[in-house]
Amino acid sequence: MTDKQGRLEGAVVAVTGGGSGIGRAGAVACAAAGARLLVTDIDAGRAEAVAASIREAGGEAASLAVDVTDRARVAAMVEAAVERWGSLDGLFHCAVDVAFVNNRDARLTELDDEVWERMIDLVLTGTYNCCKLVGRQMIAQGSGSIVLTATDDALIGCAGLDAYTAAKGGVVALTRSFAAGIARDGVRVNSICPSFVSSEPQRAWLDDDASRRAVDALHLLPIPAPEEIAPLVVYLLADESRAMTGTVVPIDSGYMAFKANLDIVGAMRVGD
Ligand SMILES: NC(=O)c1ccc[n+]([C@@H]2O[C@H](COP(=O)([O-])OP(=O)(O)OC[C@H]3O[C@@H](n4cnc5c(N)ncnc54)[C@H](O)[C@@H]3O)[C@@H](O)[C@H]2O)c1
């Protein structure tokens, strides 16, 4: 079950939103690297299906229903890992209701107040709950690595995603300030910033020819599957990234590197 290096051999890792997409791929990759997995999700059935698939492949995994906006459930996640395995060495916090983001976010001037409030609760307070309670456990142990999931949209503007962008921008800022505060206790905090990833809730965009062309034109490399994000998560959780904390790492098929396929330089060469 372990990968060749066994980079997370014996580590106890909890994943939020582990029932689907990037969280599921991260959980499976951590298990393959030797970790013992607590797969959590708001959807208990999805979390258990992933834990069962890890066990069937020879790994060690349990599942738990955890809504990250519910602090008592996040506390239960920490307790479950520690009770079962004695520590919590890694957290991959990935949970977000992506359909809610895609369907309900908007320009601020048109945004429903309830959508703003739910977005901040889901994305930012969810991250606060996980960092606070997992962080306390890791401080007690004197070690741990936390990987948060932000987005390129928190680093570069995206029209019509104002609430999501603001909330994930908070995750980026928290990555740095929390890392600064908790480093002396032996705990590292980093975040990943994917661009478009072909997880289940994004597939409808990719199945439609026109939106597929638009998405492809915004990236230098093919749109990745969640499994292509997972190796970075394993790396950031493992000791081999011990020189990294407070970093915000784009993993984005080149999205941040260029301004789409526009001939900007040509357009500026007036009068040549
Ligand atoms: N897919 C992308 O294009 C993309 C790009 C950038 C960032 N992200 C981020 O990656 C993360 C995962 O996205 P994905 O595309 O894999 O989505 P996904 O829908 O495949 O997985 C998200 C999981 O989170 C769970 N979830 C939803 N609300 C929850 C809650 N309150 N508490 C606990 N679990 C909850 C869902 O049940 C689901 O299993 C999110 O944080 C998202 O913002 C995704």
In angstroms, the Cα distances linking 140 to 134, 150, 270 are: 10, 26, 64
DSSP H or E stretch at residue 33: none
Instruction: Give the binding-site residues of ligand 1, using a 6 Å CB cut-off.
Output: 16-17, 19-23, 41-43, 46, 66-69, 94-98, 122, 149, 151, 194, 196-197, 199-202, 226
Catalytic residue (one of 128, 164, 235, 255)? 164
128 is catalytic: no
The 12-16 sheet, strands edge to edge: 60-65, 36-41, 12-16, 90-93, 144-149, 187-194, 248-251
pLDDT value at residue 197: 98
Which SS3 state, helix, strand or coil, does residue 4 take? Answer: coil
For the chain, which residues score pLDDT lower than 50? 1-2
The whole-number pLDDT of residue 271 equals 66
Give the pLDDT of residue 133: 98
Neighbours of 28 (CB within 10 A): 23
Query: What pTM value is reported for the model?
Result: 0.96
Are 86 and 13 contacting, i.e. CB atoms less than 8 angstroms apart? no
**Domain locations along the chain:** 12-268
12-268, what's its fold?
A: Rossmann fold (3.40.50)
Q: Which pLDDT belongs to residue 266?
A: 73
Whole-number pLDDT of residue 6: 73
pLDDT value, residue 205:
87
pLDDT for 57 equals 98
> Using an 8 Å Cβ cutoff, are 16 and 92 in contact?
yes
